[in-house]
A and B are shown apart, each in its own frame.
Chain A
Amino acid sequence: MATRVGIEVSIAIADAVKLANPDVVAAYPITPQTHIVEHLAELVANGELDAEYIPVESEHSAMSACLGSAAAGARTFTATASQGLALMNEVVYVAAPMRLPIIMAVANRALSSPLSIWCDHSDLMSVRDTGWIQIIAENGQQCVDNIICAFRIGEDQRVLLPVMVHLDGFTLTHVIEPITFPEQSDVDKFLPPYKFPMPLNPDKPVAMGDFAPPVIFTETKWAQEMNIRASKKVVVEVWDKYEKAFGRKYSPVEKHHSDGAKVVLMTMGSVGETASVAIDEMRDEGQDVGQIRLRLWRPFPFEELRETLKDTDVLIVLDRAISFGGPGGPVASEVKAAFYDQAKKPRIVSFVGGLGGRDITVAGFKDMVKKGTEIAKSGSKNEYEIYGVRE
């Protein structure tokens, strides 16, 4: 029997990690991730979670410890945010080519400077090309569900890749809301024991993360690319199995009244829920608008996106990060690339907003859709619009 409780999302994530029964948690606390790892430390300290908790001295060490433990065949979890993710960056890249299915929650927060503890996706974008599978949660329930799914996806023998579950800092981490927890016995059935095929073992030595001269390096990178591309099938398969077991459905591109809508708003992260209220109100007013939410950021769901938007005239994309001096929002860039070669494509309008915790209200999203529709008609000399900025 699943239980529905009112709980802070960070605490719920720690409880979800406990349901997955990890062997090792290595982490360093940083706002707004702190409550996740504090609660995990508490669970280990009071004997509720039988795992090794390694209180490392930095995020760089946290990921290094995770590499070692995952390579030894231990189910491994960590969490970080922002500057912590930046400090860890060098080691984050190492996990995917070594095929180590470390699971990491990232409480998205702006990168300095100026210093901000609030949410945007600049930290998320800083690890875009690290080769990790990256899932974006939009509410507390999705965090819990996807933490459990992440272990099964990453540890699948066809995948063996690290997985990040991104959640917006404060807007999700510090909110108390209703979350339904699956039973331990059901999670045990859903998540088989972790069996790493070639664990570090003094009796059976293996080499990992070797030196690769030019004669082989390209091949290793191509193998890595084929690996993550193929993982999308497994991500979808695991989500389908999760739906069968627990009744909640996830997919790479999630639709909200987008079928047949001429104007579609695309969001990623917790703003998606607020935006959905704006979309509902606009539809009630008789406007032909819909919404899609990106649930899977890497591997990027090119085919699903093209299929979902095949009848769309105008696509308005909101990004919570800037690629400075570049084409604007990183999500919008990807979407434009997905459609460049297509004969029929929507007019894509890129907005950047919600930086460093700047709020976007229901009225704000309605305004954004209105402005975006106008820009799609009249054209714009700008690569993108920065929403709500005081100039």
Chain B
Amino acid sequence: MTKEKSLIEIRWHGRGGQGAVTSTELLAQSAISEGKYAQAFPSFGPERRGAPVQAFNRIDAKEPVRIRADITEPDVVVVLDPGLLDKVNVTSGLKKDGWVIINTRKTAKEIKSEFGIKYPVATVNAIKIARETLGVPIVNTTMLGAVVKVTGIIKKESAHAPLEKRFGRLGERNIKAMETAYEEVVIEEQ
């Protein structure tokens, strides 16, 4: 008898210093604040600013998360830096019907034909949103909004308190960036 699977695994791709690890922390804390079970962890080891990095989430609405192995077959991948698309195989191991959420000003159609991605794609111009709301091109909190919209794994309001705690007086602007991406993310029709 197979139990209905309630575990969702997410892999974030970014570069050292872009805040992918922070995104996973905020998402896990938001889910936990809803009473769900979640893990956030970096790719363990030394990190270098600018080098491709990964960070991970496991979120389960029903049961405690027990698996502590690496995530090799994610349900969702998130790409903070579109410059990684021709350097890293971001869809490696991605489950069938798994989503790719990309920070890009291009459309899903353009991205898919350019990089040969055969998965459903959601796009958001997070750089633009981050520049306009935060004044800096740091997209980790912005992309959080896109991930929340595409996956529906938490209510977006649940991210408010973790964002405020993390960023203090800049919390409000990060919340705005997150919410703007939530509204503007373009989810490819299936």
Does chain A bind chain B? yes
Closest A residue to B57 by beta carbon equals A176
Please give the distance in Å from B103's CB to the nearest CB on chain A. 23
A176 and B39 within 8 A (CB): yes
Please give the distance in Å from A257's CB to the nearest CB on chain B. 14
Q: Which of B101-145 contact A (CB under 8 A)?
A: none
B28 partner residues in chain A, CB cutoff 8 A: 6, 176-177
Q: How many of chain A's residues have a CB under 8 angstroms from any CB in B?
A: 29
CA distance A361 to B11 in the complex (A): 17
**Cβ 8 A contact of B67, one of A6, A172, A277:** A277
CA distance A356 to B33 in the complex (A): 34
A4 partner residues in chain B, CB cutoff 8 A: 32, 35
Given A6-B31, A284-B1, answer yes or no on A177-B65 (Cβ-Cβ < 8 Å): yes
B65 partner residues in chain A, CB cutoff 8 A: 177
B72 partner residues in chain A, CB cutoff 8 A: 361
A6 and B29 within 8 A (CB): yes
Closest A residue to B46 by beta carbon equals A117
B69 and A359 within 8 A (CB): yes
CA distance A178 to B35 in the complex (A): 9
- Asked if A366 is an interface residue, CB under 8 A from chain B, the answer is no
Please give the distance in Å from A149's CB to the nearest CB on chain B. 21
B-contact 0/1 string along A272-316, CB 8 Å cutoff? 011011000000100000000000000000000000000000000
Q: List 25 A-B contacts (CB under 8 A).
A: A4-B35, A5-B32, A6-B25, A8-B25, A117-B44, A117-B46, A118-B44, A170-B45, A172-B68, A174-B44, A175-B40, A176-B24, A176-B28, A176-B29, A176-B39, A176-B41, A177-B32, A177-B39, A178-B64, A271-B68, A273-B66, A277-B67, A284-B2, A361-B70, A361-B72
**Given pairs A6-B30, A174-B42, A284-B1, 8 additional interface contacts (CB within 8 A):** A117-B46, A176-B24, A176-B28, A176-B40, A274-B69, A284-B2, A360-B69, A361-B69
Interface residues of B (CB under 8 A from A): 1-3, 24-25, 28-33, 35, 37-42, 44-46, 64-70, 72, 162
Interface residues of A (CB under 8 A from B): 4-8, 32, 117-118, 170-172, 174-178, 270-271, 273-274, 276-277, 284, 357, 359-362, 364
